[in-house]
Amino acid sequence: MMLDIPSHIEKFISSQKMEDSETQERLLYLGKKLETNLEKVNGDEISAWMAHFIAEKMAAIGPARGKAKVSAQRECFEVILTLWGYQGYFPHDIRPFKEFDPIFRAMAHIDPNKNSPSFFRNENGDHQPPKEIKQSVEFISNLDAAARIIISFFVRESILHATNEATLGWLDAINGLAQSDEARIILKLAPELDAKEKAQEQNEQRKNELSEQIDRLEVFESLSREIKSVLKAELRKFDAEL
């Protein structure tokens, strides 16, 4: 029984030189991690079959020679990458990024990195409202931006806390070979986990982003103090009437 190999995996394998020992070693390393993970499932026939299948394909490379070896490598690497593509459907206990499930569920209704407002959208267009209303609308926009900054901060902290040695091992194993939606989100929201060296330009961009976020949060702090004072004054009025 053969797996249906997606076209993007066929394309990736075709672009690799089968004599590239580093690529071979990394693909086999990923394959071994998948096999070991699948073997952890007790009583699941599909997991057991997949573990046996991938082990069989890796073992077939060793004794092969010439064109047969190239064919065995291609078939093995296609199977490894295809199985990785289905890792999100593995039984929960062996899914590579299972620790991040609560974070992804929390993010299902938000996107902390989007540029558009989360809670408020100004639809005035070219219409200019009175000064007092315009000021209030600007406050609302600033608060919305500050809320997204705070959400992004806690999402990033959650990801860093959820990251363990197993997570880093999977990220390292697929680096440059394969991807997943989970890995893409993790590295986007916590880029310091990316094994690739960051360029100076990216570091400067991050510094500018941090400065802008700090400025927005300082506005948020100032507004919070003002609003708290107004609410306390209103509460004192109710207390005085009792």
Q: Write the pLDDT tens digit of every residue in 195-236.
A: 665 555 567 777 888 888 898 898 888 888 988 998 999 898
pLDDT interval class at 35 (50, 70, 90): very high
- Is residue 149 within 8 A of residue 218, CB to CB? The reply is no
pTM equals 0.70
Secondary structure tally for the chain: helices H, strands E: 9, 0
Long-range contacts of 167-170 (CB under 8 A, 24+ apart): 167/96, 167/97, 167/99, 167/193, 168/193, 169/33, 170/33, 170/96, 170/97
* Mean local confidence (pLDDT), 61-73: 88
Mean pLDDT of the chain: 81
* Mean local confidence (pLDDT), 48-66: 91
Least confident of 34-38, 58-62, 199-203: 199-203
- Is residue 83 within 8 A of residue 50, CB to CB? The reply is yes
* Mean local confidence (pLDDT), 25-38: 92
Least confident of 71-85, 94-108, 136-150: 136-150
Q: Residue 229's pLDDT is what?
A: 92
Whether residue 19 has pLDDT greater than 70:
no
- The string of DSSP codes covering 102-148 is HHHHHHTT--TT-SS-SS-----TT----HHHHHHHHHHHHHHHHHH
Long-range contacts of 182-187 (CB under 8 A, 24+ apart): 182/88, 182/96, 182/97, 182/100, 182/104, 183/97, 185/100, 185/104, 185/107, 186/97, 186/100, 186/159
CB neighbours (10 Å) of residue 40?
A: 12
Q: Residue 28's pLDDT is what?
A: 92
pLDDT interval class at 107 (50, 70, 90): confident
pLDDT in tens, 108-160: 766 555 555 554 455 555 566 677 677 777 778 878 888 888 888 888 899 99
Please report how the helices 66-85 and 7-15 are oriented relative to each other, as an axis angle in degrees rounded to 10. 140
Q: How far is CA 93 from CA 39, 81, 96, in A?
A: 12, 20, 9
pLDDT interval class at 1 (50, 70, 90): very low
Q: Where are the domains of the chain?
A: 7-94, 98-241
Q: What percent of the chain has pLDDT over 70?
A: 79
Q: Residue 141's pLDDT is what?
A: 80
Least confident of 8-12, 44-48, 59-63, 153-157: 8-12
* Mean local confidence (pLDDT), 54-79: 90
